[in-house]
Amino acid sequence: SALDVAFLIDSSADVSYSSLRHFKVGTKHSYKQFTVGSQFTRVGMMQYGDEPHTEFDLNTFQQKNGSQVFEAISNVTQIGGESGPYAAILQVLRRSLTAQYGSRENVSQIIIFVTDGGVVDDSEESQTILNELRFSGALVYTIGVGRMVSRPQLRMIASRPASHHVTTIASYSELSATKSQIIDRICRHLHPKAPSVLIDLQFLIHTSIPEHEGGDIDTTRFLATMTNVFTAAFVKQVVDSFFIGIHYTRVSIIVYSGTCSLEFSFEEYLRKGELLEYINNMTSFVQDEPANAGFALNFTLKHILNSLRVDAQPVVVHLTDSGSTDDVTRIGNEFRALKIPVFSIGIGSGIDQVELSSIATSSQNVMIVNSDITLLPSQASELVTRISRAAKTECENIELDVQFLLDGSTSINSANFAKVKDWVKSLTSTFEIGYYTTRVGINQYSDHPNVEFTMADYFTKTSILGAIDDIVYKKGRTSIGEAINFTRVNSFTPAAGARSFVKKVLLVMTDGVSQDSIQEASALMHNIFQLLSKVGVGEVSLPQLQTIASDPDTKYVYKVSNFDAINSIRGSLVTKICGEGRKRNRIPEMDLVVLLDSSIGARDNAFGNTKKFLKELASSFAVGPYNSLFSVIQFDNSTNINFNLLQHNSSLTLVQAIADLSPEYDVAGEPPCLLGSALTEVREQLLNNNFGPRPNVPKVVLVITASNSMDDLTYPATELMHDGTMLFSICVGIKVNRTQIQKIVTAPYSSFFYSVSHFRELPKIEKSLSRGICAAIAPECRMRAVDVIFLIDGSSSVTNADFTAVKLLMVNLTDSFDIGPEGARVGLVQYGNEPTVEFDLRDFDNREDLRESIMSLEHCTGNTFTAKAIKFVTNYAFSTERGGRPNVLKVALLITDGRAQDYRNIRSEAEQAHTEGIKIFGIGVGEAQLSELEDMSSLPTSQHTMFVQNYQDIEKLRSRLVHRICQGKRC
């Protein structure tokens, strides 16, 4: 595999000469276990005592021959002094694991840390370095030697789970064996796991024997002489990365030269052991014929189309060492049109790279192996990663809190519990695991429930899959009710990693009937879950499944006959779960200024990744004068306004403006980063009408930086926030001082501060950030009591399509409130010639029934007597008999599209309403008269009068209305 491995070695005075000698032997032994090369594993070494010292970097030795490395290791001398690991950790992060010293993008970074002393102190600087280590994304293995080490301290430095990443040994003489075990763990846990969709994996292998002109076999060609060794090893490593089975991934192999042969179909080998054994013993199909790749690809496509499974993604892996004698362009286009990923792997010097590009579905799907054919198997890991990327699912970057509740009762037995763990691993592989994306926790229950791990424990897919492997089967009775209550109380709390406003999913798996009561526990659980799904296996109680699951239970209850069939429901379950996570944020109204560190332009594709992220962020909000407006300002030692808030009033033009951005950074010399000055400039612009800020609209500043600021941040940030501006920040990479930035964002910083290790990871936080912004700028409507009357014009000038648009606006507005007796109450009056009560404030105490009533509303038609309608609302609609409450904010939302027949009475009737404490919003459409709207609206009229050109645009007013209502005070 391609890895960047940095050894960090304690060489303080406590380490004896004999220990150092054992360390050298162990490190040489470790080095031999890697395939070292510029395209494969790179190794670096640093030791530390009082100060860190680099022995060699990742790009110092990039050849397979280890003699130079062994010499360098032999020449290592002890530094001595006190053990000071934190400066060394910082040096590894800021030097060893950087591109300048040989570290690579998209390659796993490994730190192997060896010490025989204490490693943790409580200083703020040490904690900052530990945070930087965690944010770096490096996988950290710690080895403690001797009696003076503290395993809890090693756990603080190591990655999770500790059982895989922390090792303690008695002496350095055990180091060789220990490092071998750690390297085995690295290879096992970094070896790609099953992709997140069902795969039908089709290998197409060219195996002809070419000849020289004299008729002799050309033994220099790879596939003629080495198929059984290296192709088999390569295919086996790829196959071993997947869950194999009828409900998982299936594999088929076709070999070709002038003709084709189906070695085996997708249906033949559905157990991994049998499949790998067949591949290992496979006899090459060889003929002295030209390579007809076009013909073979046609044969392959027909085979795939005849074997398709529902929800399965076909993937083709094509291997060849020569060009094709027939055309491949047409069939390559067919695969692209059908969206079937084709990977084309060329081996040796006889390949045609243009032809490979015609076969592969994209340039990223072309892989080249040079003349050193023995390296082909080492490409398996990269291929699996690319297959996973090509077979993306709807769960990518979805933000969810997912909790599994697994039955560990005696009736399941150990073999079936192992199948359950494989199923959970397969589901987990579906999600984009991360701090800002999907979090996963697992509880197991039998007689009593217990926590296996919480959503706060692991933030990488590798660590979660390892933790699932470590789960020990409990045995005992089936007590589902107690387990559900335990999960509700203990697993969906901030301490356990649950997040506010994030969709919550509970998956309960059982194979039997609960021996305790589940009704009350299930009812309480439904109050906090967006999706509660129950999976039953074997002889389970269907009524119990239906009681536990969310409504409708037909959608969220799954029952399968046995544990072998449990993965058959995976596709449907994933679709439902990720559909919950995909639901978009509400549409906010805000002025958002992006303050962008322009020095990122110097980093590889960093600016491109940043623009991609900003386009996705902008696309998640409605853009326009009643919704969100955006500005981008770049900064280094000065600021440059790319565009202000006035320049782009639509998503289309905004996204294009972001696409057209270019970095202001001067590559000739990196200027100092002056974020404090930039914040001062932003504050001045937000007070400048020419920049486009809107009064009474929430202001948000988003700082994206990868550099340490050289000036004061506290004062300008404080001044911005005193103005009411909310300050968010994204820190990228390891050079930025996160502690410095955390202190200046809006409190609490956990809701306003984001951090990623690389710019390519920015898309992972988009949903979390957009949700966080919405939560920050949306008033606490869901905790507020308010009485709202919709007063809608149902006159003949309103068409049926217009009336439907008004109904949709009302439904979407009510979604922003907590409907209920103690929360928001909603009534509706429609008027034409006369006002008509469609329903009163007292009629609905839940959102679902209210929505249904609004959408079933019929259009009354007639003239437009607006003043009469206002009078009716004042005298009757808010009365206690109809559900109105004293000392609660009263809001009337009046929507009209024309001149009122009784316009002379509007002002007087509206003034009477205002006297009664009713806040009126006048909303005009099309031919509505602005003077009438201002006469009816509460003061100040600029905040309560709104207008759009047509009913199709009325939805754009939603966020402003919600914001104004939630801001409102009782009149």
CA angle 851, 857, 862 (to 5 degrees): 145
- Confidence category of residue 177, pLDDT binned at 50, 70, 90: confident
Q: How is 414-435 classified by DSSP, letter by letter?
A: HHHHHHHHHHHHHHHHHS-BSS
**Angstrom distances, CA of residue 582 to CA of 187, 219, 396, 772:** 34, 55, 10, 15
The residue type at 707 = S
The residue type at 372 = D
Each residue's pLDDT tens digit, 471-494: 999 898 888 888 888 988 899 898
Tell me the C-alpha distance between 880 and 840, whole Å. 10
Report which of 962, 3, 19, 379 is spatially closest to residue 11, judged by C-alpha positions. 19
Quote the mean pLDDT of the chain: 82
Highest mean pLDDT among 215-229, 578-592, 914-928: 914-928
Domains of the chain listed by start with CATH number: 3-190 (3.40.50.410), 199-391 (3.40.50.410), 398-583 (3.40.50.410), 590-777 (3.40.50.410), 786-966 (3.40.50.410)
Mean pLDDT of 901-911: 93
Instruction: Please give the pLDDT value at position 196.
Output: 46
Each residue's pLDDT tens digit, 546-562: 554 444 444 455 555 66
Tell me the C-alpha distance between 791 and 835, whole Å. 9
DSSP state of 227: I
Q: Rounded to the nearest 10 degrees, how much is the dihedral formed by the CA atoms of 897, 903, 909, 911?
A: 90
Least confident of 162-166, 369-373, 836-840: 369-373
Dihedral over Cα of 909, 911, 914, 915: its sign? negative
Each residue's pLDDT tens digit, 710-760: 899 999 999 999 998 999 999 988 778 888 898 899 988 888 999 888 888
Q: 3-state DSSP call for residue 881?
A: helix
**Angstrom distances, CA of residue 489 to CA of 403, 441, 448, 665:** 13, 14, 14, 51
Question: Does position 707 have pLDDT exceeding 80, yes or no?
Answer: yes
Instruction: Please give the pLDDT value at position 229.
Output: 67
Instruction: Please give the pLDDT value at position 213.
Output: 45
Radius of gyration over alpha carbons of the chain, in Å? 33
| Helix or strand run (H / E) with residue 254 | strand 250-256
Tell me the C-alpha distance between 346 and 822, whole Å. 68
Mean pLDDT of 587-604: 80
- Confidence category of residue 584, pLDDT binned at 50, 70, 90: low
Mean pLDDT of 152-172: 84
Each residue's pLDDT tens digit, 251-308: 999 999 888 889 999 999 988 889 988 888 776 544 556 789 999 999 999 999 998 8
* For the chain, counts of helices (H) and of strands (E): 35, 30
Q: How many CB atoms lie within 10 A of CB 157?
A: 24
Tell me the C-alpha distance between 900 and 660, whole Å. 48
Tell me the C-alpha distance between 787 and 807, whole Å. 18
Tell me the C-alpha distance between 224 and 181, whole Å. 37
| Higher-confidence position of 197 and 265 | 265
Q: Where are the beta strands (DSSP E) in 867-943?
A: 889-896, 918-925
The residue type at 433 = I
Tell me the C-alpha distance between 611 and 753, whole Å. 20
Mean pLDDT of 652-659: 92
Q: How many CB atoms lie within 10 A of CB 305?
A: 11
Partners of 367 in the beta sheet?
345
| Helix or strand run (H / E) with residue 250 | strand 250-256
What are the residue ranges of helices labelled H in 799-929? 800-814, 847-855, 866-872, 906-915
- Confidence category of residue 95, pLDDT binned at 50, 70, 90: confident
Task: List the strands of the sheet with 557-560, edge to edge.
Answer: 449-453, 438-445, 400-407, 503-510, 531-537, 557-560
**Angstrom distances, CA of residue 554 to CA of 283, 534, 551, 582, 631:** 50, 11, 8, 21, 47
Q: How is 349-367 classified by DSSP, letter by letter?
A: TT--HHHHHHHSSSGGGEE
| Higher-confidence position of 220 and 154 | 154
- Confidence category of residue 211, pLDDT binned at 50, 70, 90: very low
Instruction: Please give the pLDDT value at position 771.
Output: 83
Report which of 781, 970, 965 is spatially closest to residue 885, judged by C-alpha positions. 970
Tell me, letter by letter, the H, E, C secondary structure of 496-528.
Answer: HCCCCCCEEEEEEEECCCCCCCCHHHHHHHHCC
Instruction: Please give the pLDDT value at position 586.
Output: 52
Report which of 395, 405, 457, 451 is spatially closest to residue 428, judged by C-alpha positions. 395
